[in-house]
Amino acid sequence: MNIPKTSYPRIVIIGGGFAGVALAKKLSKQEVQVVLLDRNNYHTFQPLLYQVSTGGLEPDSIAYPIRKILKDFPNFYFRLANVEEIDTNKNKVRTDIGHLKFDYLIVASGSKTNFFGNSEIEKHSMAMKTIPQSLNLRSLILENFEDALLTSDLNERNALMNFVIVGGGPTGVELAGALAEIKKGILPKDYPDLDTRMAQINLIQSGDVLLKGMSAKASEKAEVFLEKLGVIVWKNLRVTNYDGFTVTTNSDLTFKTQTLVWAAGVKGAIIRGLDGIEFTSKSKRVLVNEFNQVKGFDHIFAIGDIAEMVTLNYPNGFPMTAQPAIQQGDQLGDNLLRFIENKPMKPFVYKNKGTMATIGRNKAVVDLKKFKFQGIFAWYVWMFVHLFFLIGFRNRMVVFVNWVYNYVRFDREARLIIRPYKKRLKKN
Amino acid sequence: MNIPKTSYPRIVIIGGGFAGVALAKKLSKQEVQVVLLDRNNYHTFQPLLYQVSTGGLEPDSIAYPIRKILKDFPNFYFRLANVEEIDTNKNKVRTDIGHLKFDYLIVASGSKTNFFGNSEIEKHSMAMKTIPQSLNLRSLILENFEDALLTSDLNERNALMNFVIVGGGPTGVELAGALAEIKKGILPKDYPDLDTRMAQINLIQSGDVLLKGMSAKASEKAEVFLEKLGVIVWKNLRVTNYDGFTVTTNSDLTFKTQTLVWAAGVKGAIIRGLDGIEFTSKSKRVLVNEFNQVKGFDHIFAIGDIAEMVTLNYPNGFPMTAQPAIQQGDQLGDNLLRFIENKPMKPFVYKNKGTMATIGRNKAVVDLKKFKFQGIFAWYVWMFVHLFFLIGFRNRMVVFVNWVYNYVRFDREARLIIRPYKKRLKKN
């Protein structure tokens, strides 16, 4: 790869998510060379992907050009590349655009959807971890409504208007809420000749609470909010298969649907070279020590979703969310500079700043360390926090304009099928 | 097709562009049934497509859900359909979702890129008539810069950074100006390791003026503005072929480029059933009389780009732009209602409200009936008019926010490769 050799140590970061970007920012203007590799030229603000899927926001509002984040840093290099293998013996990475030697490697490759080995579900269901996936889901939802108009077979129409979301975490809960609002606000206006009552939103959770990991009050309230919006919540139900038509479960319940959204789990986006059992946990995360060093190495690190740091309070690693990723990226920046200067590194301590989820207009749940609250005030806090953490002034402004508009008008105007999903499926 | 039969006459409109939407709006709340067919579920504001291509705007800012435009009209039906044939004997249209009988048919299918029969240019060049095409061009431009970083072969790098735009009409001029601003404002910041001087923007015009049809002063000024921005303008030069690597011309000049944008002409998007020579002109437009009736029929009409109404001042039909389309759609609404009531229709008279084009920040040319002006005031007028004609309050707000941001920061933040173009090409 075409990166100049300098006397500075070369730090290669794989992944421009929350962790990778936080680290790169910290290393800016230091006496190191930083090479950031990502398969996209943009950073994705994943917590708002569900709003792209439901036509509330466009991709550019929640994506940000990586080159722009780091444009003032003279020793920074970005390359649009897919990392295929890490060679820990020769200290280099192999990518689709060539090899690259590193002095320090930081794996921040994030996570991907976990189908738990079920290839049929993987084939027929929709995931929502990337912008193209979210746009596909948006197209599919709208195409389903258009197709529902064309059939006189009520079973088929039902299946087209029936949405099944698997996974009661924040993604599943927020998507279910947004779909319920589309059913209520958009469907009757856009499709007066469709019976809105046929549109069903089912949220399936294998355990006995939604938003596991949040407070009991938050879980409970989230469920109440969802049911108020008309979402049908199924608890203690496990999806066993989906063939594109019928969802089967571990009970005798089945669902006929054309749309199964799989938000039931994630696993580390592991890269060959670190995929041996000596490096990874059951959830394909890379095991690291308290300095984020990968087991067995001192110059290879992992941060964010891909890293599993086992601590007393978090025996299975930290939650795979933005907060630990940002904090680890941030701290590793300091630690790396110390390490290069042969100073001792500081162990990472996760500060849980709280968790939150939105269910719909005026409806959110927020757990802070000291305060836990639900409802309209929580919703304002949720919006403020998300606006604050978005990168870029323009993104904040555009998201704000959209949110105000959507709120005042009960509307979502990006209900556009720019790239049809079903037609493409048929072609392939 | 699944449309209820009523006692109202059924008016079928093919196409939700400027003409079709203007007509449908006019017919709302009248005693007719209106069925609008379009292959997209959105209306496209085509004059701003070049800003989508150059990362200044996202699709949702210039697209608008068709269902939403007409949601308050009880006898209105929209169907997402591709019309494949018009059966003038049986008064029905054949589409990919079934047949539909009509009492009155209005063809408003618009225009498409005219490659003048050169299939090699068609295969290798980029067009910019639709949103997916514009997004493809955006991806390609950005992928070219990323690829330019990877090669040490200066000829290849040159070809990647060399942009050739064919056609000196508004589309070509506006795209060339926007690319020149990217070269100046984005390239040095995002790609400090690329030599910006290698980026060339060539605009090729077969005739001897740009913006043919506008005033001499406007044409002249547009050229001065473009050259100030560093665009290389070629006049009296005709592109003869492009094999994906080399553009050949009618002189001995050739251009090595990976990006040829073809904006050299449009032709009617004719539909089978009306494609006989008795109905169409050389440019594949449907010949209509002064009431927009298709030659030989009284209940089949054509409006907008697809219609060619020959008048004294416009022996080849009106310009294929938004204004005639909107005016014809609007007037045909009145005329149809008269026609149904057996009242005489009014002949269409085109009111040319003026033409304008923008070249870059503070640089535009405007020809009104009485006033012709160029420069910063023209630029404000251009922006105001385009904001005004955009459909929807939210679209206007979001476009406004983006324009202010882009102006103040010399920036275009939607430089995102959401769906890579080259990779997809390779896969197919």
Each residue's pLDDT tens digit, A105-143: 999 999 999 999 999 999 999 999 999 999 999 999 999
Residue B417 contacts A, CB cutoff 8 Å: yes
| Options 3.10.129.10, 3.50.50.100, 2.160.10.10, 3.40.830.10; CATH of A119-264+361-427 | 3.50.50.100
* Chain A residues within 8 A of B409 when measuring between CB atoms: 394
- Cβ of B189 within 8 Å of Cβ of A2? The answer is no
pLDDT band at B278 (very low <50, low <70, confident <90, very high): confident
Residue A172 contacts B, CB cutoff 8 Å: no
* The one catalytic residue among A58, A143, A174, A181: A174
Question: Which residue of chain A comes nearest to B193, CA vs CA?
Answer: A77
Q: What is the largest CA-CA distance in chain B?
A: 73
- The DSSP call for residue A47 is G
3-state secondary structure A366-386: EECCCCEEECHHHHHHHHHHH
User: Is B427 a residue whose pLDDT tops 60?
Assistant: no
Q: How many C-beta atoms lie closer than 10 Å to residue B288's C-beta? A: 25
- The fold of A10-39+81-113+266-340 is FAD/NAD(P)-binding domain (3.50.50)
Percent with pLDDT over 70 in chain B: 99
Domain(s) labelled CATH 3.50.50.60 in chain B stretch across 10-39+81-113+266-340
Each residue's pLDDT tens digit, A268-292: 999 999 998 888 998 999 999 999 9
User: Is B300 a residue whose pLDDT tops 80?
Assistant: yes
Percent with pLDDT over 70 in chain A: 99
* Chain A residues within 8 A of B68 when measuring between CB atoms: 189-190, 413, 415
Q: What value does the mean pLDDT of chain B take?
A: 94
Rounded Cα–Cα distance for residues B80 and A290 (Å):
56
Give the model's pLDDT for residue A23. 97
Give the model's pLDDT for residue A425. 66
- Cβ of A132 within 8 Å of Cβ of B417? The answer is no
Of A64, A65, A413, the CB nearest to B394: A413
Give the model's pLDDT for residue A415. 92
Residue A40 contacts B, CB cutoff 8 Å: yes
Q: Are B361 and B404 in contact (CB under 8 A)?
A: no
Residue B287 contacts A, CB cutoff 8 Å: no
- Over residues B198-208, the mean pLDDT reads 96
Q: Are B62 and B45 in contact (CB under 8 A)?
A: yes
Domain(s) labelled CATH 3.50.50.100 in chain B stretch across 119-264+361-427
Residue A156 contacts B, CB cutoff 8 Å: no
* Chain A residues within 8 A of B419 when measuring between CB atoms: 132, 419
Segment holding B223, helix H or strand E:
helix B216-228
* Chain B residues within 8 A of A417 when measuring between CB atoms: 40-42, 80
- The DSSP call for residue A46 is G
- Cβ of A189 within 8 Å of Cβ of B68? The answer is yes
B174 tagged catalytic: yes
Please report the sign of the dihedral spanned by the C-alpha atoms of residue B64, residue B65, residue B70, residue B76.
positive
Q: Determine if residue B196 is left, alpha or beta; phi over 0 gives left, psi from -120 to 50 gives alpha, anything else beta.
A: alpha
Beta-strand relationship, A300-302 and A307-309: unpaired
Rounded Cα–Cα distance for residues B52 and B75 (Å):
34
Beta-strand relationship, B246-249 and B307-309: unpaired
Residue A393 contacts B, CB cutoff 8 Å: yes
- Over residues B354-376, the mean pLDDT reads 95
Segment holding B325, helix H or strand E:
helix B322-340
Q: What angle do CA B174, B178, B183 make, to 5 degrees?
A: 145
Each residue's pLDDT tens digit, A68-94: 998 888 899 999 999 999 999 999 999
pLDDT band at B391 (very low <50, low <70, confident <90, very high): confident
Each residue's pLDDT tens digit, A4-31: 999 999 999 999 999 999 999 999 989 9
Residue B64 contacts A, CB cutoff 8 Å: yes
Q: Are B93 and B37 in contact (CB under 8 A)?
A: yes
Lookup: tokens for A297: 């190495």
Q: Which of B36, B390, B418 to mutate to test the interface with A (most CBs of A within 10 A)?
A: B418
Residue owning tokens 């008539």: B129
Each residue's pLDDT tens digit, B100-136: 999 999 999 999 999 999 999 999 999 999 999 999 9
Size of interface A-B (CB pairs under 8 A): 140
User: Is A428 a residue whose pLDDT tops 50?
Assistant: no
* Chain B residues within 8 A of A81 when measuring between CB atoms: none
- Cβ of B401 within 8 Å of Cβ of A397? The answer is yes
- Over residues B57-67, the mean pLDDT reads 94
Residue A32 contacts B, CB cutoff 8 Å: no
Rounded Cα–Cα distance for residues B365 and B379 (Å):
7
User: Is A95 a residue whose pLDDT tops 90?
Assistant: yes
Distance between A404 CA and the closest CA of chain B, angstroms: 9
Distance between B36 CA and the closest CA of chain A, angstroms: 13
Give the model's pLDDT for residue A176. 98
- Tell me which residues of chain B, numbers 89 to 148, contact chain A at a CB-CB cutoff of 8 Å: 97-98, 131-132, 135, 142-143, 146
Question: Which residue of chain A comes nearest to B419, CA vs CA?
Answer: A132
- Over residues B322-327, the mean pLDDT reads 97
pLDDT band at B356 (very low <50, low <70, confident <90, very high): very high
Give the model's pLDDT for residue A330. 97
The alpha carbons of chain A give a radius of gyration, in whole angstroms, of: 22
Of A60, A150, A415, the CB nearest to B65: A415
Give the model's pLDDT for residue A72. 80
Task: Give me the half-sphere count of Cα atoms (radius 13 Å) on the Cβ side of residue B201.
Answer: 23
- Tell me which residues of chain A, numbers 205 to 244, contact chain B at a CB-CB cutoff of 8 Å: none
pLDDT band at B276 (very low <50, low <70, confident <90, very high): confident
* Chain A residues within 8 A of B63 when measuring between CB atoms: 416, 418
Q: Are A105 and A12 in contact (CB under 8 A)?
A: yes
- The DSSP call for residue B152 is -
User: Is A42 a residue whose pLDDT tops 70?
Assistant: yes
User: Is A189 a residue whose pLDDT tops 60?
Assistant: yes
Higher pLDDT, A384 or A197: A384
- Tell me which residues of chain B, numbers 244 to 263, contact chain A at a CB-CB cutoff of 8 Å: none
E-assigned strand segments in B120-258: 162-166, 200-204, 232-234, 239-242, 246-249, 254-256
Residue A284 contacts B, CB cutoff 8 Å: no
- Over residues A38-54, the mean pLDDT reads 97
